[in-house]
Amino acid sequence: MATIQGVQRVEGDITVPGDKSISHRAVMFSALAEGTTSIEGFLPGADCLSTISCFRKLGIAIEQDGDRVQVEGKGWYGLTEPADILDIGNSGTTIRLMMGILSTQPFHSVLIGDESIARRPMKRVTGPLRQMGADIAGRQNGEYTPLSLRGGKLTGIEYHSPVSSAQIKSAVLLAGLQAEGTTTLYEPEVSRDHTERMLRSFGVEVESFTGGVRVRGGQRLVSPGRIHVPGDISSAAFPLVAAAMLPDSRIIVRNVGINPTRSGIIDVLKEMGAGLMLHNERIVNGEPVADVEVAYSSLKGIEIGGEIIPRLIDEIPVIAVLATQAEGVTVIKDAAELKVKETNRIDTVVAELRKMGAHIEPTEDGMIIHGGTPLTGAVCDSHGDHRIGMAAAVAGLAAAGETTVLNAASIDVSFPGFFATLQQISE
């Protein structure tokens, strides 16, 4: 449980923990590569620690101390059959990418996770992997955990993914790296491309083209030696939204990843009228990075849908909070994927923001928010979903009185130190 007092304004010059998507991939690819990799800026949140624990059970030596990690890669086939179940906790990225990797391994493994994972759809990944030749069993014919895999000889496929998902894309590409022939994945809109970028830094050839991506089988990974993980834009979004909606506020978040497949929140903040500036733009390990500054300005409601959705899917809970403080109506559509995240985020966002007095309606593929509403402190619940807990806390900053967030420990999944950061910027 955590309590948050409403504040007049926020101000600060801060950093946020490392990018979750990049941290997972850094550990996974380093484990599969030849050579030792030192990772700096790693996110020591629960999800990425689950990835480390799985690779240790697969026989990889990994040292972790805060945001520094050292991985002794043994090459793609250096993994050994785990003596124990691989527990991925709350992490959808871990389980889906692991399935791609384990499908190539000539041994048996079992994957489980927490209650939320047990409700999340897995056939979107087990389906294409089975088409490639992987032997996978699970509840409801491979839709739900526990999942059991026996990998082996795979054949490359041409796969048209019905959803734009980096987890599906990455699982298929990773399996494709050890399949016979080439593997091509097409997706409706481009999803985050950290896998493609990082594989290239490990010496893998990956062909990206409009509408899809292709890899040739039989490629090995060679460690780049060192990886710097930038700050997570999905975590930076919370203090940046606080600055955008509280009069007279200004926040600068240093060293944030601004990969164009992730930067939808920047476009939305600008379009709604926030004062946003990027400083010090640079490329680090193939990923664009900048210092992001947001200052309060009066905001207006907008329509959010189409190609931008995969570029801000994880930021929709906090965008909904922002929209409650904008003039006019904000419509979020084409976002049915929200229903299969850590919680059904259409339902949980609407339920929690209504408790604070927001005028918000759920729709089949998003939500409609009527802005310009003063919020009042309330007892909110994260429902075990880190981003719902953080969205409620940021709404609490803009609310009159005190807000309580129940089940706040889940925030540790992606943003350890979140409440200390809120404290630091609150006035």
| Active site members | 314
Give the Cβ contact number of residue 361 at 10 Å.
Answer: 11
* Annotated binding residue 68: no
The region that residue 281 occupies, defined by phi over 0 for left and psi between -120 and 50 for alpha, beta otherwise, is beta
Q: Which of 114, 196, 287, 314 binds ligand S3P (CB under 6 A)?
A: 314
Give min distance, CB of 391 to ligand S3P, in A: 14
CA distances from 195 to 83, 176, 205, 206, 207 (A): 28, 13, 12, 10, 12
- x/- mask, ligand S3P, residues 11-30, rule CB under 6 A, reads ----------x---------
Residue 235 is a binding residue for ligand S3P (CB under 6 A): no
> Which lies closer to ligand S3P via its Cβ, residue 165 or residue 249?
165
Q: Which of 95, 98, 147, 166 binds ligand S3P (CB under 6 A)?
A: 166
- x/- mask, ligand S3P, residues 173-202, rule CB under 6 A, reads ------------------xx----------
Residue 90 is a binding residue for ligand S3P (CB under 6 A): no
Give min distance, CB of 133 to ligand S3P, in A: 23
**Residue 200 one-letter amino acid:** R
Of the candidate spans 56-64, 148-156, 159-167, 205-213, the one that interacts with ligand S3P by CB under 6 A turns out to be 159-167
Contacting ligand S3P within 325-344 (CB under 6 A): 337
Give the Cβ contact number of residue 65 at 10 Å.
Answer: 9
Pairing of strands 250-257, 11-14: parallel
Of the candidate spans 37-45, 108-116, 161-169, 263-271, the one that interacts with ligand S3P by CB under 6 A turns out to be 161-169
Give min distance, CB of 169 to ligand S3P, in A: 7
Dihedral of the alpha carbons of 412, 418, 419, 420, in degrees to the nearest 10: 120
**Longest Cα–Cα distance in the chain:** 61
Dihedral of the alpha carbons of 27, 32, 35, 39, in degrees to the nearest 10: -10
> Which lies closer to ligand S3P via its Cβ, residue 171 or residue 326?
171
Give min distance, CB of 97 to ligand S3P, in A: 7
Contacting ligand S3P within 93-122 (CB under 6 A): 93
Of the candidate spans 73-81, 164-172, 326-334, 388-396, the one that interacts with ligand S3P by CB under 6 A turns out to be 164-172
Estimate to the nearest angstrom the gap between the alpha carbon of 408 and the chain centroid: 18
Q: Which of 313, 320, 326, 358 binds ligand S3P (CB under 6 A)?
A: 313
Of the candidate spans 81-89, 132-140, 165-173, 206-214, the one that interacts with ligand S3P by CB under 6 A turns out to be 165-173
* Annotated binding residue 387: yes
- Residues in contact with ligand S3P by CB under 6 A are 21, 93, 165-167, 170, 191-192, 313-314, 337
